[in-house]
A and B are shown apart, each in its own frame.
Chain A
Amino acid sequence: MKHLSKRILCAILAAAMLLLTACGAPSSSAPASTPAQDTSTPASTVDSAPAQPAEGGQKLSIYLWDNEYAAQAVVEAYQAKHPEIEIDLNLTPFLDYQSKLYTSLAGGETMDVFFMRETVLSTYVSKGLCAPLDDYLAAADFDLSPYEYCASQYQIDGKTYAVPYRGGGYHLYYNKDMFDEAHIPYPDMYESYTWEEFREVAKQLTHGEGGDKVYGVYMMGWPWMQMFQAMQTGTKIVDNDYNVDLDTPEVRAALEWYYNTCVVDKSQMTPAEATATNASITPVFVGEKAAMILGGDYMAGNIKNNIKDGNLTFNWGMARCPSDDGVEYSTHNAVTTACMNPKAENPELAADFLMFLCGEEGQTIIAEQGSKPVLNTDATRAAWLKGVEVYSEEQAELYFEPAKAFYDPQNLAAGAASTVLTEELSLYMTENGQSLDDTIKNAVTRLEEEISKLDIE
Chain B
Amino acid sequence: MKTAKRTNSKLQRRNDILGYAFLAPNLIGFIVFTLIPFVYALYISFFKWDGITDKVFVGLDNYLALLKDSGFRIAMKNTLIYTVLNVSTTIVSGLALALAVHSVKHLKTLFRTTLFLPNMVTISSIVIVWQAFYHPTYSPFSMILRTFGVENPPQWIGDPKWAMLCIIIMSIWLNAGYYMVLFLAALNNIPSHYYEAADIDGAGIWKKFWRITLPMLSPTTFFVVIMAIINSFKVFDQVALLTQGGPGRSTNVLVYYIYQESFTYYRFGSASAMAYVLFALIFIVTVIQYRGQSKWVVQ
Contacts and interface: CB of A to CB of B under 8 A. Distances in A.
- Whether A and B are associated in the same complex: the answer reads yes
A449 B14 CA distance: 61
Given A18-B25, A102-B266, A423-B246, A277 B135 contact: yes
A426 B247 CA distance: 6
B244 A275 contact: yes
Interface in B145-161: 152, 155-160
Contact of A278 (B21, B131, B263, B266): B131
A11 B17 CA distance: 8
A190 B138 CA distance: 37
A273 B21 contact: no
Interface string B140-183: 00010000000010011111100000000000000000000000
A430 B21 contact: no
Contacts of B160: 272, 427, 430, 433
Contact of B263 (A4, A22, A102, A423): A102
A15 B28 contact: yes
A105 interface: yes
Interface residues of B, number: 44
B70 interface: yes
Contacts of A119: none
Interface of A: 4, 7-8, 11, 14-15, 18-19, 22-23, 99, 102-103, 105-106, 127-129, 210-211, 213, 270, 272-273, 275-278, 415-416, 419, 422-424, 426-427, 430-431, 433-434, 446, 449-450, 453
B136 A273 contact: yes
A276 B158 contact: yes
B264 interface: yes
A434 B158 CA distance: 14
B249 interface: yes
Contacts of A127: 50, 52-53
The 8 closest A-B pairs by CB, nearest first: A106-B51, A427-B248, A272-B158, A272-B247, A273-B136, A99-B263, A426-B247, A276-B157
B38 interface: no
A423 B14 CA distance: 61
B13 interface: yes
Contacts of A416: 265
Which of A8, A23, A105, A415 gathers most chain B CB within 10 Å?
A415
Nearest to A450: B265
A259 to B, nearest CB: 14
B248 A426 contact: yes
B191 interface: no
Contacts of A106: 50-52
Interface string B70-89: 11000000000000000000
B220 interface: no
Given A7-B17, A8-B17, A423-B248, A273 B28 contact: no
Contacts of A129: 52
A275 B13 CA distance: 61
Nearest to B262: A99
Contact of A22 (B29, B134, B136): B29
A424 B248 CA distance: 5
A198 B265 CA distance: 37
A272 B246 contact: yes
Nearest to A124: B52
Contacts of A419: 260, 264
A394 B14 CA distance: 86
Nearest to A424: B248
User: Which of A23, A270, A434 is most buried by chain B, counting CB atoms within 10 A of its CB?
Assistant: A270
Contacts of B265: 415-416, 450, 453
Nearest to A103: B51
B25 A276 contact: no
Nearest to A453: B267
B21 A11 contact: yes
B24 interface: yes
Contacts of A14: 21, 24
Given A11-B17, A127-B50, A426-B248, A272 B155 contact: yes
A134 B159 CA distance: 50
A430 B17 contact: no
Interface string B1-25: 0000000000001100100110011
A4 B248 contact: no
B137 interface: yes
